[in-house]
Amino acid sequence: MNQNAIQKAAEYIAVCWQQDNHIDALPEECTPVTVDDGYAIQQALCTMIDSPRVGWKIAATSIAGQRHIAVEYPLIGQIMSDRVYASPANLLLRDNRMRVAEAEFCLRFGRDLPAGDTTLTRETIMDYVDALFPAIEVPDSRFNDFIRAGAACLVADNACAREFVLGDEVTGEWRDIALDRFPVTVYANDQVATTGTGSDVLGDPRDALTFMVNECSRRGLALKAGEFVTTGVIGRPVTIEPNSRIVADFGVLGRVEANFASLP
């Protein structure tokens, strides 16, 4: 895609982002064909949003997540500060098409990561991580039919980023915990909605982080101290309705809560 087409696509999506609108499709002349096109649009989009990036998301790190948006591999998106809420959070569903909440492990970088190295190991990357949080992501797409939009368009759409609820930083020693075997239970209105373990996330949340860091490095995307990465859904995405209360219980690692209402 040429730069004019990239900018035009980003402008369409930015309007939807800012006005909480949805579209059937981008104009043909600015529809991304490749995932690389999609990431170029995403970068342009995030410069148009009047809010700084504070983190990153990895979509489709589980079979359930991939099936939900009909892709075959993880997608990376950016989380902007105006869409991050502290737990317990009160959110409006508005016109959210996806209507799901996802329990996720979230890791924060304590130092800038070196740019350009695409072979960093899990152990090396974890040396740059200084904190762990329980979290809930509330994704959505700006495309009405996000299931058929395709990977390139979903990447352009910031990998279906919308709202993000951050729990309290884990204060105990967590580095020796086997996150791949760590159980998480999600409740909807006090009823168990789904259960899972960290192995749902590309086998281990730290492996998902490793994939994301090396993919960002390959694409020239800088990762900075203080930014966090939410690593993907544990269990399955939980359907949310107006007046739902979603609680993700991470046991000794804490709990995170999101309450949903429709517009008044």
pLDDT digits (tens, 9 = 90+) for 46-60: 999 999 999 999 999
CA–CA separation, 256 vs 87, rounded Å? 6
pLDDT at 210: 96
| pLDDT, position 263 | 63
Give dist(CA 91, CA 220) in Å, integer: 34
Show me where the domains of the chain are located. Answer: 3-86+102-176+195-236
26-43 in b/e burial notation, b at 16+ Cβ within 10 A? beeebbbeebebbbbbbb
Region 105-132 average pLDDT: 93
User: Cα separation of 3 and 256, whole Å?
Assistant: 41
What distance in Å separates the CA atoms of residue 40 and residue 9, rounded to the nearest whole number?
A: 10
Answer whether residue 90 shows pLDDT above 60: yes
Question: Cβ neighbours of residue 178 under 8 Å, at least 6 residues apart?
Answer: 198
pLDDT for residue 220 is more than 90:
no
- Res 94: pLDDT: 84
Give the span between the Cα atoms of 106 and 79, in whole angstroms.
Answer: 12
**Looking at the predicted structure, is the pLDDT value of residue 69 above 80?**
no
Query: Given a cut of 90, is residue 3 above it in pLDDT?
Result: yes
pLDDT above 70 as % of the chain: 99
pLDDT band, residue 225 (cuts 50/70/90): very high
CATH no., domain 3-86+102-176+195-236: 3.90.850.10
Answer whether 193's CB lies under 8 Å from 127's CB: no
